[in-house]
Amino acid sequence: MSLAELTLHDAAAKLRNCEFTAMELTEAVFQRIAETEPRVCAYLTLAHDRALKDAARADETRKKLPGNGPLLGIPIAIKDNFLTKDLRTTCASKILGDFIPPYDATAIAKIRSAGAVIIGKTNLDEFAMGSSAENSGFFPTRNPWNLERIPGGSSGGSAAAVSADECTAALGTDTGGSIRQPAACCGIVGLKPTYGRVSRYGVIAFASSMDQVGPLTKDVRDSALLLEAIAGHDPADSTSVNSIVPRYSEMLADDIKQIRIGVPKEYFVSGIAAEVECAVRKAIGELEKQGAVVEEISLPYTEYAVAAYYIIATAEASSNLARYDGMRYGYRANAIDLLETYTQSRAAGFGREVKRRIMLGTYVLSAGYYDAYYLKAQKVRTLIKQDFDEAFKKCDIIITPAAPTTAFRLGEKIQNPLQMYLSDICTIPINLAGLPALSLPCGFDNYGMPIGIQLIGKHFDEPTILRVAHQYEQSTPWHKQKPKLNG
């Protein structure tokens, strides 16, 4: 077995016992990358030399100071929308091209100070806008379970890298499902924390009222460990919340007897693949066997979430992306005057989907349409949040599918933006309400593609969703299965 296959917690334990060095682990990961990356295409930038230096430093640190944290010497992949000091950051957009950040995002600074080794920057849909990683300005990433299929998006590169053992764990961001849906597509664990749990400082903004940083990992314990490392208040992000970060990894063990699970009927309707529904219902049955109490609930405004989301997210994006004007960084076209410089730089630098969303967002905010679209959507967002508030009076967690189908084929939805938007139907309402939610494997369809289940918690109740996920994972074989990329 290659060291690259190890989970974060296994690798950390073995590093602590001096069974191998961080250098050996990092080299094993790059060996794996050499074998599989030409087919998977998960990375936009590999940081080989720098990673080996970081690994050597981690080994030195361990010699001097035994008893350090679990991330010391662990190879981590980073979605390419996090600023990484002195390491090219593109957001998968030609408009950023060869941008070299002058500072680290807070989440990056945190894992680096914990000794993590950054392997490289992973592919995504340009500016995190998409559900398939096909909207990358450079190339699409493939699903390690079937190279003809999408890895999900927008954190498709991070999910594929974890699934293919091209890193030990990864960071991603989730605005409407961009961690959870690719995690489901690639058969791994993806966690979107509560809005405000992790600092967004240094994360390239898409829709600031919903963007959140989170881990993509091989199992639930890894998710808890990585969340512990990145969570907490940051003076540089005033929306990050100043409350104690629990020791998530030490709260996984308790049984789940009497945990009240709500199953919303609106998530089991037409449009949800039969095999997905069947696998999710079986998983709920397993939790019931372990003593959880299951109750059908209703979240009546669910069907309005996608429409409200694509108004709010595009409005925020049109504003956030106004900064790409070709003046201080990024691509600049040579044009006859200032206005032409702006319009031509942006026309050449942004891809189709980004332009589409900027147009949509500009329109819904424009004079005469603001009330009909943007204000209306913000009111519906209140209704959707109230749905969850009501539901959580009766239950501790809510369980749904993580995505309506398993990973679809490359090219299948790229010509139909509305169809693509609907692939986030299970994850979007959670971002609108700012709740934490985790996606984990719960089976495979007839084509051997992974199916994901979504566990949604109350605000800041990551401990409960991680615990239920862990208890489920320990009683099922799904997370131990690996894609067969050899040959």
Partner 1 sequence: MKLSTEQLRKVALLARLRLSPEEESSLAMELDAILGYMDKLNQLNTDDVEPFKHAITAPNPLREDRVTNRPGTESLLANAPDRDGTFFKVPKIIE
Residues 158 and 181: beta-carbon distance below 8 Å: no
What track of x and - describes contact with partner 1 for positions 407 through 446 (by CB under 8 A)?
A: ----------xx--x----------xxxx-----------
Q: Count interface residues toward partner 1 (CB under 8 A).
A: 74
Q: Between 129 and 170, whose beta carbon lies closer to partner 1?
A: 129
- Selected binder of partner 1 within 303, 323, 389, 394 (CB under 8 A): 303
Please give, one letter per residue, the 3-state secondary structure of 314-337.
Answer: HHHHHHHHHHCCCCCCCCCCCCCC
The piece of 55-63, 214-222, 360-368, 471-479 that touches partner 1 (CB under 8 A) is: 360-368
**Binding residue (CB under 8 A) for partner 1 from 16, 50, 94, 332:** 332
Residue placing its CB nearer to partner 1 in the complex, 2 or 238: 238
The neighbouring-strand residues paired with 190 are: 216, 439
Nearer to partner 1, 95 or 186 (CB): 95
Could you check whether the bond before residue 199 is cis, i.e. omega within 30 degrees of 0? Answer: no
Neighbour count for residue 400 (Cβ, 10 Å) = 27
Euclidean distance between CA atoms 176 and 427, whole angstroms: 6
Distance of CA 146 to the CA centre of its chain: 20
Q: Does 487 bind partner 1 (CB under 8 A)?
A: no
Q: Which of 73, 190, 262, 330: binder of partner 1 (CB under 8 A)? A: 330
Contact region with partner 1 (CB under 8 A), list: 58-66, 223-231, 350-358, 468-476: 350-358
> Is 178 in the active site?
yes
For residue 359, the minimal CB distance to partner 1 (Å) is: 6
Structure tokens at 111: 């894992």
359 in contact with partner 1 (CB under 8 A): yes
Residues 441 to 470 in contact with partner 1, rule: CB under 8 A: 459
Minimum separation from the CB atom of position 289 to partner 1 (A): 34
- Contact set for partner 1, span 127-186 (CB under 8 A): none
Catalytic residue among 178, 199, 318, 439: 178
Binding map of partner 1 across residues 308-327, x = CB under 8 A, - = no contact = x-xx------x---x--xxx
* Nearest approach, Cβ of residue 4 and partner 1 (Å): 34
Both tokens assigned to 454: 């979504």
Min dist. Cβ of residue 214 to partner 1 (A): 15
Q: Residue 419 corresponds to which tokens in the numbers above?
A: 């169809």
233 is an interface residue for partner 1 by CB under 8 A:
yes
Q: Does 269 bind partner 1 (CB under 8 A)?
A: no
- State the catalytic residue, choosing from 93, 131, 132, 154: 154
Residues near 412 by beta carbon (within 8 Å), at least 6 away in sequence? 150
d(CA 7, CA 424): 28
Say which amino acid occupies 45: T
Of residues 36 and 90, the one with the C-beta less far from partner 1: 90
Give me the 193-232 binding string for partner 1, x by CB under 8 A, dash otherwise. -xxx------------x-----------------------
The two beta strands, 117-122 and 43-46, are antiparallel
235 binds partner 1 (CB under 8 A): yes
CA dihedral 271, 273, 277, 279 (to 10 degrees): -160
Interaction with partner 1 in 366-405: which residues (CB under 8 A)? 366, 373, 375-383, 385
Q: Which of 331, 392, 408, 478 binds partner 1 (CB under 8 A)?
A: 331
Concerning whether 154 is annotated as a catalytic residue, the answer is yes
For residues 179 and 211, what is the distance between their CA atoms, to the nearest angstrom? 11
The number of beta carbons lying within 10 Å of the beta carbon of residue 76 is: 28
Tell me the two tokens of residue 324. Answer: 């790409």
Shortest Å, Cβ 321 to partner 1: 9
Q: Is 343 in the site for partner 1 (CB under 8 A)?
A: yes
- Per DSSP, what are the bridge partners of residue 452? 441
Binding residue for partner 1 (CB under 8 A) from 185, 213, 283, 358? 358
Q: Residue 193 carries which DSSP code?
A: P
Is-catalytic flag, 131?
no
- Could you give the string, one character per residue 64-93, with x where binding to partner 1 holds by CB under 8 A and - elsewhere? ------------------------------
Q: Which residues contact 340 (CB under 8 A, 6 or more apart)?
A: 333
Nearer Cβ to partner 1, position 2 or 243? 243
DSSP states of 194-259 as a string? Answer: PTTSB--TTBPPS-TTT-EEEEEESSHHHHHHHHHHHBS-BTTBTTS--S----GGGSS-S--TT-
**Is residue 271 a contact point for partner 1 (CB under 8 A)?**
no
Residues ≥6 apart with Cβ < 8 Å to 461: 194, 396, 397, 436
Q: Which tokens sit at 233?
A: 């208040």
Q: Are 350 and 330 in contact (CB under 8 A)?
A: no
Please, which of residues 98-117 interact with partner 1 by CB under 8 A? 99-100, 102-103
In the set 63, 257, 289, 328, which binds partner 1 (CB under 8 A)? 328
The pair of structure tokens assigned to 69 is: 């944290």
Burial (Cβ within 10 Å: 0-12, 13-18, ≥19) of residue 373: buried
So which residues are the catalytic ones?
79, 154, 178
